[in-house]
Amino acid sequence: MKIRTVEAIEVAAPAGEASSPWSSTVILVRVTTATGATGWGEAPTTLMTHPVRASVPEVARFYEGRELQAHAAAFREFERYSFYRARSMEATSALSAVDIACHDLLGRELGTPVATLLGGAIRDRVGAYANGWYSDCIEPTEFAARARAMVTAGFRALKFDPFGAEYRTLSPEGLADAVARVEAVREAVGDSVRLLIEYHGRFYPEAAVRAGRSLERFDPAFAEEPVLPELSDALRGFRRQVRTPVALGERLLTAADFESFLARGLVDILQPDLTNSGGFTYGREIAGVAAARGAPVAYHNAFGPVQTAATLQMDAVLPTFFLQESFEASWPAWKRSLVTGYAIERGEFRIPTGPGLGITVDEKAVERFRSEAMEPIGPEPPWVIAGTWARRASTETTTPGAAAPSGRLRRRSSGTARSSRRAR
Query: Cβ(195)–Cβ(208) under 8 Å?
Result: no
Annotation says 50 is catalytic: no
Give me the catalytic one of 50, 71, 103, 300: 300
103 noted as active-site residue: no
DSSP 52: H
Q: For 242-332, where are the E strands, in sequence order?
A: 246-248, 269-270, 324-326
In angstroms, the CA 177 to CA 411 distance is: 8
What is the DSSP-derived secondary structure letter of residue 289?
A: H
Return the SS3 of 227.
Answer: strand
Q: What distances in angstroms separate CA 50 from CA 11, 104, 181, 188, 393, one per listed residue?
A: 12, 24, 36, 41, 28
| H or E segment to which residue 7 belongs | strand 3-12
Residue from 50, 71, 103, 200 carrying the catalytic annotation:
200
Among candidates 245, 335, 406, which has minimal Cα distance to 42?
335
* Amino acid found at 412: R
Query: Which H or E element spans position 322?
Result: none
Residue 67 main-chain phi, psi, to 5 deg: -70, 140
Using an 8 Å Cβ cutoff, are 248 and 261 in contact? yes
In 3D space, the residue among 112, 110, 98 whose CA is nearest the CA of residue 280 turns out to be 98
Contact 154, 346 (CB under 8 A): yes
In contact, 37 and 399? CB cutoff 8 Å: no
CA dihedral defined by 248, 251, 254, 260, rounded to 10 degrees? -50
Residues annotated as catalytic (active site), given as ranges: 200, 300
